[in-house]
Amino acid sequence: MAEAHQAVGFQFTVHPDGVDIKLSQEVIKNIYQSGLTAWKKKVILFKNGVLAGVYPASPSSWLIVVIAMLTSLYIRLDPSLGMIDAIKDNLPYRDCMSAQTQAVLSAILFATGLWLSLIYLLRYTLKALLSYHGWIFESHGKMSTTTKMWLSLVKMFSGRRPLLYSFQASLPRLSVPRVDDTIYRYLESVRPLLGSEEYNQMERLASDFKDSIAAQLQRYLVLKSWWATNYVSDWWEEYIYLRCRSPIMVNSNFYIMDLLYVTPTHRQAARTGNIVHAMLQYRRKLERGEHAPLRALGVVPMCSTQMERMFNTTRIPGIETDIVQHLTDRKHLVVYHKGRFFQVWLYTGGRHLLPSELETQFQRILSDTSEPQPGELKLAALTAGNRVPWARARIKYFSQGVNKMSLDAIESASFFLTLDDEPQGYDPAKTNSLDGYAKSLLHGKCCDRWFDKSFTLISYPNGKMGLNVEHSWADAPIVGHMWEYVLATDCFHLGYTEEGHCKGDPNKGLPHPTRLQWQFPQECQNVIEASYILAKQIADDVDFHGYLFMEFGKGLIKKCRTSPDAFIQLALQLAQFRDQGVFCLTYESSMTRMFRDGRTETVRSCTSEAVAFVRAMEDASATKAQKLTLFRKAADKHQNMYRLAMTGSGIDRHLFCLYIVSKYLGVDSPFLKKVLSEPWRLSTSQTPQQQLNIVDINKFPKYVGAGGGFGPVADDGYGVSYIIVGENLITFHISSKFSSPDTDSCRFGQHIQKAMLDIQALFHPENDKIVENGEHVYLVNGKKHL
């Protein structure tokens, strides 16, 4: 036991002459190092807090202003226009100070006030500059004189060497769009999906809404936008995520995969040791705010608020709503392996455990042959089932005794780690290897991931890794940022020995991982089993298909002078129509992080222009020139919709917030109720890559990620996540449900592949589709593709 190991450092013996106390030098050294590390951390946090607090100025600029004021006094100039004299006349205890001391102190106070005023002036100037979004609507490769001047000013006012949170106070707030604009864009988005009678009815509902309660709801929303840092994000987190009472496994959580082609070592404990150590390095920089802020064009800063809750965070179940619990300075993680839970300390002597020390600890767990306690094997299934039974079980069975202590250990852990016992990963020699890998990351066995933790790190016996991420606290790009850093650190900085072990000498003197203890009555075990059965039904219904599109990638698409995202989205519309025979409401996620506390907005990809293009592609009488013209129009429309969403002029978040206000006021809106009940049968998202630019994938083409994915949003629809990898690869992650007779993920993947090739053929006459032996064969740059 860890407690016993620590106790031997302090011993005392009672003699007739008194008490003989012996202290272990090792323990004293560890205590000293821990205290020293804690004070260093406090000093660094204070220093970085000051630097971020006065940004874009610096503490040294205060000294410059003070020296300038004192110099002006020396040469008998008064740039303060009498304010220094006024301060001197009102100084407390001025009778106890000499005239020279009064003058110097008054000058320092005035200089400090002037310096703070200049900081606020710089911040509000930068905020005004960042409120300009004209640059994003300009054609790629073309920049107006206005934008060039704007970029120069932003660079000038952005200061040097910003920290992670330096720009937070300078980010503009998300403004509320005009109701008329939002309704116009909404009606435009549903026009291709509705018949004439249905569309006329929707127009009447929208008109009635504008003429009745819209103005009242909008006033409350504008008031909130003035008061809160973001008028959307808190309600989005609460009502879309935390108030949802259905299982979060599959329905909310998402996953992120490991490197696609490379496995640095096939030793499970060693790979896990390096990854965990890299995560601790990332967390330390995150806590100190030392990561560089993400910036569009290398200039425009993105909001970093979501990153604050990456570690030490758990979603706590409640009867009506969950809460997100975020703690600070957690020093342990909890590991699940073959039905047992272990607590592993991450620090010793005031420092992180080294990779070799972590490898030793994880190998001890892998070698442990003890059996699970009654009810322990499927305990984590409580986090995979409905939220209300889990909340009630938590109150009834986990509020005292060993169960409370063990649950507290899990919920207060830095993160959750699963040492899986079945190998996964992409294997080109195996058919559908990505499918099983995706399902394992998304739901596993339904009882071997703690779905409430901010993320669960999953380690496989063949050295592959992955993440399962709870969605309420952050969006995919936030976790992707951390994952890129971790994988690059693992492969290019930490490395492995020739035998595949972590570098460094293993420390055998570390206290062993501690088993968490549980005592579950039969009634509690029945609740656990019920949650497991429900979760298993959900997991077994998930139809996943992942594949690599290697025929071409971003490089060739850009040569076609179109946006890669627009190209793929139009291919998805063509695939959807070929798969289902109808068009559907389509969701594409866009970020709004150019605004403070921004998260996401919806791009409605199924536009009238996209529908016209798809119909032309299916019309044998349409010429290539006609199809290409319609493609250009549809792509331009999509790009404009995406840019509007990024700049705060989207449709869905505004309507969502108007609906929430209507519920608070107790007024009914048939229009808003209709809008919020529409199903998204095609939900899509692009997974960002190379946010950090740590690894040059042109130099290291094998060190690329496989992206990630999510479960289907609608029972009869598809979920599609895609990642544009380098210049020549696009990976697709497609999900649907086996219970739907109308969907098939593998079939939809084939439709996507054919749609991509058909569209690409429009740009290159030498690339065409022929029929060979009764099968469609695509010629791309002279190469045949089925």
Distance CA(165)–CA(576), nearest Å, equals: 42
Residue type, 30: N
- What's residue 93's pLDDT? 75
Distance CA(225)–CA(51), nearest Å, equals: 28
Distance CA(411)–CA(58), nearest Å, equals: 39
To the nearest 10 degrees (0 to 180), the angle between helices 196-211 and 214-227 is: 70
- What's residue 41's pLDDT? 61
Whether 471 sits among the annotated catalytic residues: the reply is yes
* Structure tokens belonging to residue 183: 């309704």
Tell me the backbone φ, ψ of residue 720, rounded to 5 degrees: -130, 120
Is the CB of residue 565 less than 8 Å from the CB of residue 635?
no
- What's residue 28's pLDDT? 63
- What's residue 782's pLDDT? 47
Q: Which helix (H) or strand (E) holds 711?
A: none
Ramachandran category for residue 785: left, alpha or beta (phi over 0 → left; psi -120 to 50 → alpha): beta
Q: Which helix (H) or strand (E) holds 85?
A: helix 83-89
Reduced to 3 states, what is the DSSP secondary structure of residue 521? coil
Q: Which helix (H) or strand (E) holds 256?
A: strand 254-257
- What's residue 80's pLDDT? 76
Distance CA(594)–CA(495), nearest Å, equals: 36
Tell me the backbone φ, ψ of residue 375, rounded to 5 degrees: 85, -10
CA dihedral 716, 732, 434, 692 (to 10 degrees): -130
Cβ-Cβ contacts under 8 Å for 669 (sequence gap 6 or more): 209, 212, 213, 658, 659, 662
**N- to C-terminal Cα separation, the chain:** 61
Own/partner pairs, 116-122, CB within 8 angstroms, 24+ separation: 118/57, 118/65, 119/54, 119/56, 119/57, 122/56, 122/57, 122/157
CA atoms within 13 A on the CB side of 461: 8
Closest CA to 393 of 526, 560, 238, 195: 526
In the chain, which stretches have pLDDT less than 50? 1-10, 766-774, 776-779, 781-782, 785-786
Is the CB of residue 691 less than 8 Å from the CB of residue 480?
yes
pTM above 0.85, yes or no: yes
Distance CA(611)–CA(682), nearest Å, equals: 15
- What's residue 629's pLDDT? 95
Distance CA(713)–CA(468), nearest Å, equals: 17
- What's residue 11's pLDDT? 53
Tell me the backbone φ, ψ of residue 107, rounded to 5 degrees: -65, -40
- What's residue 7's pLDDT? 41
- What's residue 341's pLDDT? 98
Q: Which helix (H) or strand (E) holds 323?
A: strand 323-326
Distance CA(585)–CA(514), nearest Å, equals: 51
- What's residue 779's pLDDT? 47
CA Rg, the chain, in Å?
30
Residue type, 495: G
Is the CB of residue 684 less than 8 Å from the CB of residue 572?
yes
β-strand pairing of 775-780 with 455-459: unpaired
Distance CA(438)–CA(418), nearest Å, equals: 15
Which of the 8 DSSP states describes residue 10?
E
Residue type, 540: D
- Which candidate in 352, 471, 481, 501 is catalytic? 471
- What's residue 774's pLDDT? 47
CA distances from 96 to 99, 173, 679 (A): 10, 48, 76
Tell me the backbone φ, ψ of residue 633, rounded to 5 degrees: -65, -45
CA distances from 251 to 386, 535, 675, 711, 715 (A): 11, 11, 21, 6, 11
Distance CA(131)–CA(142), nearest Å, equals: 20
Reduced to 3 states, what is the DSSP secondary structure of residue 349? coil
* Structure tokens belonging to residue 557: 């698409």
Q: How many residues does the chain have?
A: 786
